[in-house]
A and B are shown apart, each in its own frame.
Chain A
Amino acid sequence: MFDNIFGIHEQALMVQGQRMGVLAGNLANADTPGFKARDIDFAAVLSSQSQGDRALPLAATDSAHITLSGTDPATADVKYRNPYQASLDGNTVEMPVEQAAFSETNVRYQASLNFINSRISELTLAINGS
C-alpha cells in the first residue's frame, strides 16, 4: 500500500523541477546570440513513463550500450522550441512565452506539492485517528 502513496506526483515534481531549470536557462540566455530555447513536453514524458512501465526494458549488458532517452524521468527529453517570430541573431527565446511557461510550471509544481501535503495529512489523520 505504501509503495505508491503519492501516485504520479512524486515523478511530476521531479519533471516539473527539471522543466523549471530548462526554462530558467532560456530566461538566462534571452540576450545570447544564436541560443535556441528548449522545453520539456510534460505530456510526452508522462506517456513515455506510463508506456515504459508496461514495455519490456532494454538490457544494458555493456558500458558502451546506449540507453533510450525519455525512459528515465531524470533524463526527460528536452526539445527545441519553435519561435513565433525569428530574430536576426538566431536567438529563439521569446520572453512572454518563457515567462508564461515558467509561471505555469510554478503553479503545477505547487499543485503537486499540495496533493502530496494533503495525502500526508490524510495518512496522519488515519494513523492518529483524531
Chain B
Amino acid sequence: MSLFDVFNVSGSAMNAETIRLNTTASNLANAESVNGDPTKVYRARHPVFQAVMNSEMGLDDAAGASSGVRVMGVVESTTPPIQTYEPNNPLADKDGYVYTSNVNSIEEMANMISANRSFATDVEAVNTARDLLLKVISMGH
C-alpha cells in the first residue's frame, strides 16, 4: 500500500528540512562572529540533500516508485572570510586585522523561507494521506 509510504517519504523530507533550518539558525547566529585567525573563523554550513530509494529505507516497493530524502553531509562554504582592520579589537592579529565569518545573511534568509515552504508542503502531503486512509478505514459505514 503506497499511501503508507507517504508518511515515511514525507517524514524523511521533514527531517532533512529541519536539519537545513538548524544549519540556517546556526549560520545566522554566527553571522557576526570574528576571529584573528582566518582558518579558525566560523564558516557558513549547508546540508547536501540526497534522494534515497524506498528499498534502502527497508520499505516494500516493487516499482521502485517513491523516494525519501537524507542529508548526505554538511559542507562548509569556501568563500573567504571578510577581513577588516580593527587594531583595537582584542582578537585582532599582529597586523590589526580581524576576520568575520563568511555567512551571507540574505542567502540564509532565502534558505530559511525555502525550508519553511518545503516543510509546510510535506506536512500537507502527510495530512492528505492520513485523511484518505481514514476514509478507507471507514469504507462502507
Partners in one complex: yes
User: A interface, by DSSP: helix, strand, loop or mixed?
Assistant: helix
Query: Is A20 touching B63 in the complex (CB atoms < 8 A)?
Result: no
Q: Does B67 reach chain A (CB closer than 8 Å)?
A: yes
Query: Is A78 touching B64 in the complex (CB atoms < 8 A)?
Result: yes
Question: A18 CA to B132 CA in the complex, in Å?
Answer: 13
Binding site for A on B (CB under 8 A): 1-3, 5-6, 9-10, 12-13, 16-17, 20, 48-51, 62-69, 114-115, 117-118, 121-122, 125, 128-129, 132, 135-136, 139-140
- Across the interface, which residues of B come within 8 angstroms of A87, CB to CB? none
Binding site for B on A (CB under 8 A): 13, 17-25, 27-33, 35, 38, 40, 72, 74-78, 95, 99, 102-103, 106, 109-110, 113, 116-117, 120-121
A–B pairs, 10, beta carbons within 8 Å: A19-B2, A20-B3, A21-B6, A28-B68, A28-B69, A31-B114, A32-B51, A32-B69, A40-B65, A113-B139
Query: Is A28 touching B67 in the complex (CB atoms < 8 A)?
Result: yes
Question: Given known contacts A25-B66, A27-B13, what 19 new A-B pairs fall within 8 Å (CB)?
Answer: A17-B1, A21-B9, A22-B2, A23-B125, A24-B6, A24-B10, A24-B66, A27-B10, A27-B121, A28-B10, A28-B13, A28-B125, A29-B51, A31-B69, A33-B48, A33-B49, A102-B128, A110-B132, A113-B132
Question: A32 CA to B72 CA in the complex, in Å?
Answer: 10
